[in-house]
């Protein structure tokens, strides 16, 4: 069967179940394409030999009742994988080989999937362009020298470039949805507490969530069904009634009330983003839903709040990298000198910047002025959503204020880089689910995404809305394979 | 508010990241522009607002205090840069 890598996850699962394709054929096809796609720099660690062996083993005794029977899959290098190097895109974890498996990846392998390798990402998931990775920039399959977004940039590039049928990323302030938007793919950030954080390299623990990144909404729903489980190993994992997201997926959204928040019309937003949003509003109306103008008055305070809360939590989480228990160690004259040199040489510039911000806002004399203040504003931001959800079932916004930008364009100005996440950050602060779906192209031909934000634990609803809109939008990603020719 | 080099040195000490003069100047510039951006929060009056510490409004579950991971010493020291039998080795701290 030709063009295996062009098939969606749903098609591949069906073809394997119908015995039209074997796991070995599928795995080999994705390995071949990955081998030809080194220019994208999507992988940090390849595990191809082992993947092929697992596929052969699967084919000898295939269990076709599984949800991902013999499906190869590469994952973001922030998930700990037993006996496979896990770096978080950092020099400081360059030699770290976990002795345990993250719950999310464990759920995936239990359903029959096979690890292809570990995908590039911004260092400790801190970045919006994949340019902070110790392992170098990732190319966007859409165009040469274009960032794939971040922090799950390798994941987005690998899905859009068809190096993996589907993948998982993590999202602390937009790290799934923004790269999905930049690469013409679908990315879901689930409700905080939906997917276990156990075994995921921690960035900001009150915001981090794992989620699927896919070619289409149905594939995304299928993976969400698998990775969302209650896990006693994560004390913030929530034991709620989870839907069968794929099985229950429907495009019937008649009568749903969709909020359009006026505060997302920000100064300097390109006209094409506004036009895309208007088109989105028309699409949901065409699907029989009703749109309602709403207000989320504290939206403009979300980014400043995030840049206190996230670095504060990061500075605390990253204290563990001291050159003693695991990871890189620099030589020092004494213990303190060893700590300071290890962290100075082991962490990249952006990570050091954020640790410093976090340390400062938590330090004596500044805690109330910054950290406590931010936690209070975070409450106001959450209240905005609670208030809005009294009137609407979901909220529709653009995913990002622009399309993908060129590599190097924003690296010298941290604040302009941070502004990328202006529409995605409020969702993490409020702990809500959000999905980005490709909805059009800008004048350069680069993809643009729309975001649907749901109530807490209402993933099914936003998946349904996304599914209905996807049908109307009929988006086609323009992938020319420029990096192969 | 402005973050000066003395403050940078202080934060660098607290965060155990060594910083030379050149890096300190770059960091001071970056942090000042970030804090300028963060100052926006002062526009809001928040005296009577409860701080949000967790979005999940559930109480933490209790569990029996049982040992579940047994005999994993080897796994624990497996990734250490330097170890000796079951111990992590660090530069000498006692004279």
| Nearest CB partner across the interface for B27, out of A97, A338, A353 | A353
Look at residue A2 and tell me whether its pLDDT is greater than 90. no
Q: Does A476 touch chain B (CB under 8 A)?
A: no
Nearest CA in chain A to B47: A376
- pLDDT value for A130: 97
Tell how far CA A282 is from the center of its chain: 27
In this prediction, residue A26 carries a pLDDT of 98
Q: CA-CA distance, A361 to A261, in Å (whole number)?
A: 31
* Tokens at A403, concatenated: 């399309």
Q: Is the pLDDT reported for residue A1 higher than 60?
A: no
Chain B: give the shortest CA distance to residue A99, in Å: 6
**Are A236 and B56 in contact (CB < 8 Å)?**
yes
Angle at CA of residue A28, ends A94 and A178, nearest 5°: 55
Nearest chain B residue to A376 by CA: give it: B51
**Among all residues of chain B, which has the CA nearest to that of A351?**
B17
Q: Is A415 on the interface with B (CB under 8 A)?
A: yes
pLDDT band at residue A413 under the 50/70/90 scheme: confident
Measured N-to-C along each axis, helices B21-38 and B5-14 cross at an angle, to the nearest 10 degrees, of 100
Q: Dihedrals φ, ψ of A250, to 5°?
A: -140, 150
| Inter-chain touch B91–A334, beta carbons under 8 Å | yes
How far is the alpha carbon of B95 from chain A, nearest alpha carbon, in Å? 11
Distance in angstroms (rounded) separating the CA atoms of residues A432 and A192: 7
CB contact A401 to B (< 8 Å): no
Catalytic residue list contains A181: no
Active site residue A151: yes
- Write the pLDDT tens digit of every residue in A432-443: 999 999 999 999
User: How large is the average pLDDT for residues A436-460?
Assistant: 97
pLDDT tens, residue by residue, A304-325: 999 999 999 999 999 999 999 9
In the prediction, which pLDDT does A409 show? 93
Sequence-distant contacts of A297-300: CB under 8 A, at least 24 apart: A297/A263, A297/A384, A298/A377, A298/A380, A298/A381, A298/A384, A298/B44, A299/A261, A299/A263, A299/A264, A299/A381, A299/A384, A299/A426, A300/A263, A300/A266, A300/B40
The answer to whether the Cβ–Cβ distance between B11 and A360 falls below 8 Å is: yes
CA distance A109 to chain B (A): 22
How high is the pLDDT of residue A411?
A: 86
Which residues does A274 contact at the CB level (< 8 Å), separation at least 6? A265
Provide the β-strand partners of residue A260: A293
A271 is catalytic: no
Q: What is the DSSP letter of B50?
A: P
Closest CA to A355 of A126, A48, A96, A172: A126
What pLDDT does B94 receive?
84
**Domains along the sequence of chain B with CATH:** 5-43 (1.10.20)
Query: CA A108, CA A233: separation in Å to the nearest integer?
Result: 17
pLDDT bin (cut points 50, 70, 90) of residue B93 is confident
Q: Which residue in chain B has the smallest CA separation from A330? A: B81
Indicate if the pLDDT at residue A142 is higher than 80: yes
**Inter-chain CB proximity A304 and B37 less than 8 Å:** yes
Average pLDDT over every residue of A230-259:
96
> Which of B14, B27, B38 comes nearest A304 by C-beta?
B38
Q: Which of A355, A360, A374 sits opposite B41 (nearest CB)?
A: A374
Domain ranges of chain A: 4-263+270-294+386-473, 299-376
- What confidence tens digit (pLDDT) does each residue in B1-29 have? 589 999 999 999 999 999 999 999 999 99
Of residues B14, B61, B90, nearest to A359 (C-beta): B14
For residue range A16-71, list pLDDT tens digits in order: 999 999 999 999 999 999 999 999 999 999 999 999 999 999 999 999 999 999 99
Chain A segment 125-184 residues within 8 A of B by beta carbon are none
Gap between the terminal Cα atoms of chain B:
43
Q: How many CB contacts within 8 angstroms connect chain A with chain B?
A: 160
Give the integer Cα–Cα distance in Å for A483 and A161. Answer: 10
> Using one digit for the tens of pLDDT, what is the confidence trace for A258-286?
999 999 998 888 999 999 999 999 999 99
The pLDDT tens digits of the residues spanning A5-17 come to 999 999 999 999 9
Is the domain A4-263+270-294+386-473 a CATH 2.40.30.10 member?
no
Q: How far is CA A259 from the centre of its chain?
A: 24
pLDDT, position A194: 98
Q: What is the mean pLDDT of chain A?
A: 97
Mean pLDDT of A99-118: 98
Say if A414 is an interface residue toward chain B (CB within 8 Å): yes
The alpha-carbon gap from B70 to the nearest alpha carbon of chain A, in Å, equals: 14
Span A443-468, average pLDDT: 97
Of A97, A298, A344, the CB nearest to B18: A344
In angstroms, the separation between the Cα of residue A270 and the nearest Cα of chain B is 22
Which CA distances in Å does A379 have to A19, A157, A305, A362, B55? 52, 35, 10, 19, 9
Which chain B residues have a beta carbon less than 8 Å from that of A429? 55
Asked whether the beta carbons of residue A380 and residue B44 sit closer than 8 angstroms, the reply is yes
């Amino acid at each position: 069967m030709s063009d295996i890598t062009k098939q969606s996850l749903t098609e591949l699962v069906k073809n394997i179940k119908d015995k039209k394709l074997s796991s070995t054929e599928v795995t080999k096809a994705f390995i071949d394409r990955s081998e030809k796609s080194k220019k994208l720099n999507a992988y940090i660690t390849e595990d191809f030999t082992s993947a092929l062996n697992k596929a052969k083993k699967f084919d000898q005794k295939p269990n076709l009742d599984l949800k991902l029977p013999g499906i190869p899959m590469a994952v973001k290098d922030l998930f700990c994988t037993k006996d496979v190097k896990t770096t978080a895109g950092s020099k400081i974890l360059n030699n770290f080989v976990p002795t345990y498996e993250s719950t999310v990846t464990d759920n995936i392998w239990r359903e029959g999937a096979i690890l292809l390798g570990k995908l590039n990402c911004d260092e400790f998931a801190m970045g919006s362009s994949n340019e902070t990775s110790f392992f170098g920039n990732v190319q966007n399959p859409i165009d040469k020298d274009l960032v794939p977004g971040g922090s799950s940039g390798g994941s987005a590039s690998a899905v859009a470039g068809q190096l993996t049928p589907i993948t998982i990323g993590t999202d602390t302030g937009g790290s799934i949805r923004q790269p999905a938007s930049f690469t013409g793919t679908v990315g879901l950030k689930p409700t905080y507490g939906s997917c276990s954080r156990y075994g995921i390299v921690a960035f900001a623990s009150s915001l981090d969530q794992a989620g699927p990144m896919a070619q289409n909404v149905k594939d995304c729903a299928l993976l969400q069904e698998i990775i969302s489980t209650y896990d006693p190993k994560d004390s913030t994992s929530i034991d709620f009634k989870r839907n069968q997201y794929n099985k229950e997926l429907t495009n019937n959204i008649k009568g749903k009330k969709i909020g359009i928040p006026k505060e997302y019309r920000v100064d300097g937003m390109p006209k094409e983003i506004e036009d895309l949003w208007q088109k989105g509003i028309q699409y949901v109306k065409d699907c029989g839903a009703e749109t309602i103008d709403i207000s989320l008055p504290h939206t403009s305070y979300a980014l400043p709040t995030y840049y206190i809360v996230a670095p504060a939590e990061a500075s605390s989480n990253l204290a563990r990298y001291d050159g003693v228990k695991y990871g890189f160690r620099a030589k020092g004259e004494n213990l303190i000198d060893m700590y300071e040199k290890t962290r100075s040489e082991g962490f990249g510039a952006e990570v050091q910047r954020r640790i410093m911000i976090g340390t400062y806002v938590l330090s004596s004399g500044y805690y109330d002025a910054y950290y406590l203040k931010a936690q209070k504003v975070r409450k106001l931001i959450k209240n905005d959503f609670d208030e809005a959800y009294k009137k609407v079932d979901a909220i529709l916004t653009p995913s990002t204020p622009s399309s993908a930008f060129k590599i190097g364009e924003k690296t010298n100005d941290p604040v302009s880089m941070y502004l990328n996440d202006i529409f995605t950050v409020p969702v993490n602060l409020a702990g809500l689910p959000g999905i980005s779906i490709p909805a059009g192209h800008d004048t350069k031909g680069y993809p643009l995404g729309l975001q649907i934000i749901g109530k807490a634990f209402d993933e099914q609803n936003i998946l349904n809305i996304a599914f209905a809109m996807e049908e109307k939008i009929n988006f086609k990603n323009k992938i020319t394979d420029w990096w192969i020719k | 508010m402005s973050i000066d080099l003395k403050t940078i040195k202080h934060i660098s000490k607290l965060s155990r990241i060594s910083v030379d003069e050149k890096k300190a100047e770059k960091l001071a510039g970056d942090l000042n522009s970030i804090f300028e951006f963060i100052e926006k929060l002062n526009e809001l009056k928040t005296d009577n607002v409860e701080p949000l510490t967790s979005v999940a409004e559930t109480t933490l579950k209790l569990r029996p205090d049982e040992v579940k991971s047994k005999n994993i010493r080897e796994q624990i020291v497996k990734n250490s840069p330097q170890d000796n039998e079951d111990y992590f080795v660090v530069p000498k701290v006692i004279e």
